[in-house]
Structure 1
Amino acid sequence: MPATEPILALLDSRSFGSIWFWVIVTAAWTMAGRRILGVPADVIAGAVFVEPEPDGDPAALMLLDWLSLTLPRWRMERREGALLLGLGSFLLTVLAVLGFAYRLEMAQALVLLVAPFVLLFALDLRLAGRLRPLLAQAGRDMPANLAAAQAARLMRRHRLAGMALSILAVALTAAYGAVWMILHPFGY
């Protein structure tokens, strides 16, 4: 028995039958649900039920501070967006063709892992675009408490959509992985 055999067995390319793939799926979706646009969930929860008066509630101000720090990271110029869209589409298409046309299990697993995150990234960009005007109006045209409450509601709705997407993605990946393991018991 060569010394490298246990290492190769640990790094087996069988995705759906490997515990490491499922650890990655679980960890990825757990990390994706902890923050929304970089803002912790407890900061958002504190600002949902802020009263409109008196203005300057600490929970509302904390949410607006977090948004003022994190939203600039989500700004994307047209050229960057087009480049990211083209490159991402190309890579996802290559993985899909390798996985489903050429029946490579690792590529299928990567498509099932990455495709929902692409959709979640698009939802994140959309949310950032909707929050930017709210942050700009906070304190000038709109009371800070009202702006924070509206932002928190939008972010809670986004979090629920992200949770639904994660449940659907994990369920579909698990179902597809189970069918794959039944149809390919020896990995080929």
Structure 2
Amino acid sequence: MDWYSTVFEVIDMRSFSNLWFWVMLAVLWSSTSHWVLGVPYDMVARARRAGGQASQDLEDLVRINTNRLLFIVEESGLWIVAIGSAFLSGTAILGFFYWVEFAQAVFMLAFPMMFVGLLSISSARRIQAGENAGEALWRRLRLHRMLTQFIGVVSIFCTALWGMYMNLTVLAF
């Protein structure tokens, strides 16, 4: 028995039965819910608790990140939508019409992130429109994080259900 067949026997290279896929899914949603509009959420808690310089630092960092995000959307938004739509359509067709499991896994990771991106744009626009300081900013960032976590919970649940279904149907054959 050669080395490659031993490795592929021990480590299942299919996506939904691979431990690394689930680790990547957990890291993706953990980091997405921690970094709210590019700002670590512990800065929000520190700004609420301490105020002063911590609050000013938070407001400055949020201002920089929201201006950057909205600039990118205004300059390249159409291209990002076109390329993202083509990518998601391609992975959906490959995954669910041609039954390529890797494409299904990539789609399950990327599709909910589209909603997080749209939520980020919406939050950035509201922050720039006036919710950019004090309690209004903290409330907006907290709401953004809660909605991101809700999207993550639904995504993880759907991915787990689909992954179990794929593992059971593949093992049955």
| Equivalent residue, structure 2, for 1:74 | 69
The CA deviation string for residues 39-86 of structure 1, in whole angstroms up to 9 with x for no partner, is: 111221234478xxxxx8334322212223322321225451000000
User: Counterparts of 2:145 and 2:38 in 1: how far apart (Å)?
Assistant: 12
Q: Deviations over 1:93-148 (max 9, x none)?
A: 0000001011111111111111011111111111111112337xx6xxxxxxxx22
Contact 1:61/1:148 (8 A) holds in 2: no
Partners of 2:79 and 2:12 in 1: how far apart? 34
After TM superposition, the structure 1 = structure 2 runs for residues 119-130 of structure 1, keeping only pairs within 5 Å, are: 119-130=115-126
Contact map agreement 1:112 1:173 (CA 8 A) in 2: yes
Shift of 1:156: 0.2
Task: Name the aligned partner's letter for residue 96 of structure 1.
Answer: A
From 132, 139, 152, the counterpart of 1:153: 139
**2:29 counterpart residue number:** 29
Give the root-mean-square deviation of aligned CA atoms.
2.3
The 5 Å alignment of 1:67-106 reads 67-75=62-70, 76-106=72-102
Separation in 1, partners of 2:16, 2:165: 10
CA contact (8 A) 1:13 1:106 kept: no
Provide structure 1 residue ranges, at least 5 long, that are not aligned to the other structure. Answer: 51-55, 139-146
Task: Please name the residue that 2:160 is paired with.
Answer: 174
The change in CA–CA distance for 1:11 and 1:87 in structure 2 (over 3 A counts) is farther
Q: Does 1:15 align with 2:15?
A: yes
Structure 2 distance, partners of 1:10, 1:37, is 40
Higher relative contact order (CA 8 A, sep 6+): 1
- Answer yes or no: is the 8 Å Cα contact 1:37–1:71 preserved in 2: yes
Structure 1 equivalent of residue 109 of structure 2: 113
Q: SS of 2:56's equivalent?
A: helix
- TM-score using structure 2 length: 0.88
Q: How many residues align?
A: 172
Residues 112 and 77 of structure 1, relative CA distance in 2, 3 Å threshold: closer
Q: Which amino acid aligns with 1:38?
A: G
Distance 2:126 2:9 in 1: 48
Q: Secondary structure at the match of 1:166?
A: helix
Partner SS state of residue 184, structure 1: helix
Q: Which has the larger radius of gyration?
A: 1
3-state SS in 2 of match to 1:4:
helix
Please give the TM-score of this superposition, normalised by the length of structure 1. Answer: 0.81
Identity within the alignment, % = 28
| Structure richer in helix, relative to its length | 2
Distance in 2 (CA, whole Å) between partners of 1:121 and 1:13 is 30
Aligned-partner Cα distance in 2 for 1:78–1:33: 25
